[in-house]
Structure 1
């Protein structure tokens, strides 16, 4: 049986998050620059780059040596198209599992954004993501991971949401697994008389202390 992240990240996935746009990506990059001041001339990896919106924002901010890595063929094709539309031709895109950064590649800055960390059910696999990223860091480099805050999710989870977008009815359900370790999401899309399409998402919830412990092991 395929994992949810091997099935859910097609082109239709992008339409589920219309608010996750270039404006938001620019704001994210501005915050990253303020937080860790990554040198713009040193290599940067967007781990789980998706459609490439952060890569575009990094280039607009003056970063010169950019690489994006993602597993999804559809999202990488979208990233390539978007980069071309912005006349950006020198960003390297790699299709790989995030646990498998190419051996020998080194980066001064590695970012994992939009909750791209915590997909795997096995703790060892999530740890392997961090270990691989740390191995790929140049001396003095930074690894920045954007992940869910477990306490905040437990307090503010919206169990159900419905909306209409582009002629489609979208019904979303969210729940915490019985062990309290993951937040899961089911998105059902209905359009006219077509059979509904259902996408699943599942992300591990970590407390701050757990993240610190994982980082110490990486």
Structure 2
């Protein structure tokens, strides 16, 4: 990792209004359909305690709450949690929280970690620290659902340069692999004519590496899917790597 990056990139970027502008077009119907399908597979009991880890503005957490679960959403972004709290209700609550620390021990029937909300940390050891926190948060035989990109396909089909207009802002995006990490540099001009630069850095973790991490965190892999329609995982062609595991 670059030595000059002392302040973690995600603290500034996730709290920026431009982050929400860039990703405003995430497919809500797709998200709801995915939650419906995965919930059917999991067969969680009514009133199950569910944690949405790195919940963003809470779109998945809100859908989960509509399935008669008690849902807690946590995220490092103050701005995202402030927005998510607008939808709080009796069975849906949100908190600012660092995923590397257990939110509550042995409380949850299921933990969700969705939309590649993992692999952000400068130290790879923090990946295992996060998964250990997940295990500590789960009840006996609790389930963990993790949605990550398929690193194999992402690396092979990487788009180096892209201009992406979104909500009146043109985002100029550059992508490059540096060692194990995918660097995504985002440049734009704000409303006052100032040039702004942000960066995303995500570790390209493979399926086999996740299996090794899960074993160390005492999580047993149950199912692996390759899309939000829960199609079988294909290492060459699947867009997603969606893993369902159980606390051992």
After TM superposition, the score normalised by the length of structure 2 is 0.79
Please report how far the alpha carbon of residue 204 of structure 1 lies from its aligned counterpart in structure 2 after TM superposition.
0.8
Distance between the aligned counterparts of 1:123 and 1:53, measured in 2?
Answer: 28
Is the aligned partner of 1:49 residue 2:32? no
Query: 2:106–2:139: 8 Å Cα contact kept in structure 1?
Result: no
Please report how far the alpha carbon of residue 166 of structure 1 lies from its aligned counterpart in structure 2 after TM superposition.
2.7
| SS of match in other structure, 2:148 | coil
Distance between the aligned counterparts of 1:35 and 1:9, measured in 2?
Answer: 31
Query: 1:22–1:57: 8 Å Cα contact kept in structure 2?
Result: no
Query: Paired residue for 2:141?
Result: 140
Distance between the aligned counterparts of 1:63 and 1:151, measured in 2?
Answer: 37
Query: Paired residue for 1:5?
Result: 10
Distance between the aligned counterparts of 2:74 and 2:62, measured in 1?
Answer: 14
Query: In structure 2, do the counterparts of structure 1 residues 108 and 160 end up closer, same or farther at CA, with 3 Å as the change threshold?
Result: same
After TM superposition, the score normalised by the length of structure 1 is 0.90
Query: 2:55–2:73: 8 Å Cα contact kept in structure 1?
Result: yes
Query: Paired residue for 1:79?
Result: 84
Distance between the aligned counterparts of 1:38 and 1:12, measured in 2?
Answer: 36
Q: Which runs of 5+ in 1 are unaligned?
A: none
| SS of match in other structure, 1:175 | strand
Q: Decide which structure has greater strand share.
A: 2
Distance between the aligned counterparts of 2:199 and 2:46, measured in 1?
Answer: 36
Query: In structure 2, do the counterparts of structure 1 residues 207 and 74 end up closer, same or farther at CA, with 3 Å as the change threshold?
Result: same
Q: Number of paired residues?
A: 211
Distance between the aligned counterparts of 1:70 and 1:130, measured in 2?
Answer: 15
Counterparts of 1:14-93 in structure 2, within 5 Å, are 14-60=20-66, 62-81=67-86, 83=87, 88-93=89-94
Distance between the aligned counterparts of 2:182 and 2:113, measured in 1?
Answer: 19
Distance between the aligned counterparts of 1:111 and 1:206, measured in 2?
Answer: 18
Q: Which runs of 5+ in 2 are unaligned?
A: 1-5, 218-248
Greater mean alpha carbon deviation, residues 29-38 or residues 155-164: 29-38
| SS of match in other structure, 2:149 | coil
